A and B are shown apart, each in its own frame.
Chain A
Amino acid sequence: MSPERLSLPGEQYLAQRHVLTYIEDAVSQLLENKEEVCQYGIARFFTEYFTSVHQGTHVLFREISFIQATPHNRASFLRNFWKCFRTIGKNGDLLTVKEYHCLLQMLCPDFPMDLTQKAARIVLMDDAMDCLMSFSDFLFAFQIQFYYSEFLESAAAIYQDLLTGKNPNTVVVPTSSSEQHRQRSTQSECSPHDGVDAPVFYQCLESLCERYKQSCPPPALIGEVLSSVHRLTFYGFLMVLSKHQGINKVIGALPERGKLLEDTTMDKTLENLVAQMSENSISGPATGPLTVQPRELPRISFPRKPLQHRPRTDLESDGSTEETDSSEN
């Protein structure tokens, strides 16, 4: 119970929890599907809408502007991304920026490339952008970049100003593009690899946090990150943020790094699915002419290595009847 919310003026309470954002979205969704909704019942439609918002499934396949509209939407998107593609991490596959971007676009068709690229820059420390990245490295870097993107944009501007020796407090322009800043840094005499003085950087970020209130990492945790070093580079800073368990917990979308690939309920459903698929692929040829070529099967990407061979062995053992299949299981 936070008693603070009870004393807030009504408008502030609604704004703080983005109630009107969701109500507006619900109405526009309703208008898009007028006929069905009227038949189905309006109260039921709202029930389903708010249930899905609560569960975080409401951001699936939505446009980026909606996904970015609230912290809850951002966290939900991160969670969905993790749940949908965690098998990649399990297989240990390494992917490039472009490939990760394709995955993101599967969940959000108009996902902008520059957000993906920024996340990759954190993993690769702004170097060798065509390198391969592991799923968990990318995911945690992406989380920081995606969840706090506006804050990081301002932080980058501050960093560049410190690097060029300007007083950062006078020129924080969150909208200024990062290209400009990069040019400025190359012109400066100071090498960007030296980084900036950590305590000074922290002071600037602290005042920045006051302006961003809820949508920045907790200042205490930033202090913790920055107090352990004297100087640091911006990507060094982002890298540490992305690996910080405390910040991960505050966002609350992903489990801790060690548990990223564990999910017993998902494993079970996956196993059931695979079992079903293998059954179908067996019963298919039994009823009609052989349509499924045995060679094609391995190409269906079964996400878990031990399971990958099961359908094939089923087929090889004598895939023509269902009886043999069920006796094997």
Chain B
Amino acid sequence: MMAASPALKLAEKRRPVPVAAAAVGPVPAGEAEFLRQVGVTGMLREALLTVLEARPEEPVAFLADYFEKLALSRAEETGGEVPGPPALQQQRLDRAIWYLRLAHYSQRTAFHNNVSMAYECLSIGVKKKRPGVNGRIYSEVLRRICREGEAPEDILSLLLKKIQCRDYEAVPYDVFRYSTLTCFVLLEFISKANSLYHVLDDSGQADKRVCQAVLGTLGEAIMASDLYVPTSYLEAGSKLRPDCLALAMDKALLARRPSSSMSRREFLSEAAVLFLTKVKPIN
């Protein structure tokens, strides 16, 4: 019922909508030229490509945000109202994080593209002699990703211990990509573990024995998987089969020991430890 969607031709969008055309009169060819000259055409093309890559749920809000960031970076480039160094760095950090969040990591190309954008954006801040991201900024980025994903602090510090670089070290792009990806996967892992706990816990308390049985099975599955052995994925999957898991839980319940409970926090951090054992330390 709504207006027929215009064909996706980048050339099309330079033409104003018919309503406006009626109000302004016939569109002179000069307008297209004008839009090209002042950079509207290129700007919109890039914006559209970013939207298509990220596929946000609400593209309009996404575009508002996108142009706001763009306006900020323009102001920075032209030197108008340059904020002091700390503020400048904060802005760069914000923008890098924003890039990293644009696309879910499962959308490989988009995510990798955004990681490199974030990396580039952070590199500008360093003295021209040594381009690259240093360890301090790198840790800050990882910390921000985890905090905004509401990962518990103790898990965060365990992760950072594994993938930390020294403050003065230059961080190569590969390390940067590996670590940011690890953070995002960890966040998702934690949220999955959280919903797992939600299932285990009835009436506000989860039985410790059952929790441990589940964690044990999960651990076995994780340990069995090996990046370089494709069949190990199948093996891991089969270890987590519903009947396999149920068997383990059943066994745990049958062993009649005095029952105690396990808090969500404990459960999450134990699950996270399982995950972290698979994280390869850098260096």
Contacts and interface: CB of A to CB of B under 8 A. Distances in A.
Interface of A: 1-2, 5-6, 8, 10-11, 13-15, 17-25, 27-32, 34, 38, 41-44, 46-47, 50-51, 53-54, 63, 65-66, 68-72, 148-151, 212, 215
27 contacts: A14-B5, A14-B59, A21-B17, A22-B63, A23-B44, A24-B17, A25-B17, A27-B40, A28-B20, A31-B16, A31-B20, A31-B34, A32-B20, A32-B23, A41-B71, A41-B75, A42-B38, A42-B39, A42-B40, A43-B67, A43-B68, A43-B71, A43-B74, A46-B67, A51-B64, A66-B17, A66-B19
Contact of B8 (A8, A20, A47, A149): A20
Contacts of A34: 34
B3 to A, nearest CB: 4
Interface of B: 1-3, 5-8, 12-17, 19-21, 23-24, 31, 34-35, 38-40, 43-44, 47-48, 51-52, 55, 57-61, 63-64, 67-68, 70-71, 74-75, 107
A6 B55 contact: yes
**Most-contacted residue by chain A among B3, B13, B61, B68 (CB, 10 A):** B3
A71 to B, nearest CB: 6
Contacts of A66: 17, 19
B71 A21 contact: no
Contact of A19 (B14, B59, B75): B59
A151 B31 CA distance: 38
Contacts of A21: 3, 5-6, 17
A32 B181 CA distance: 45
B2 A18 contact: yes
A2 B57 contact: yes
B241 to A, nearest CB: 25
Contacts of A17: 58-60
Nearest to A42: B40
> Binding site of B, secondary structure by majority: helix, strand, loop or mixed?
helix
A4 B84 CA distance: 44
A32 B22 CA distance: 12
A149 B2 CA distance: 10
Contact of A151 (B1, B14, B23, B71): B1
Contacts of B40: 27, 30, 42
A54 B71 contact: no
Question: Which of B20, B21, B44, B70 has the most chain A CB atoms inside 10 A of its CB?
Answer: B20
The 3 closest A-B pairs by CB, nearest first: A15-B5, A28-B16, A28-B20
Nearest to B103: A6
Contacts of B67: 43-44, 46-47, 50
A43 B44 CA distance: 10
Given A28-B16, A28-B17, A43-B74, A50 B2 contact: no
A199 B2 CA distance: 28
A5 B56 CA distance: 8
Which of A44, A46, A54, A70 has the largest number of chain B CB atoms within 10 A? A46
A70 B60 CA distance: 13
Contacts of B61: 50, 54
A41 B16 CA distance: 20
A14 B47 CA distance: 12
Contacts of B5: 11, 14-15, 18, 20-21
A43 B43 contact: yes
B43 A42 contact: yes
A6 B107 contact: yes
A13 B8 CA distance: 11
Contacts of A69: 2-3
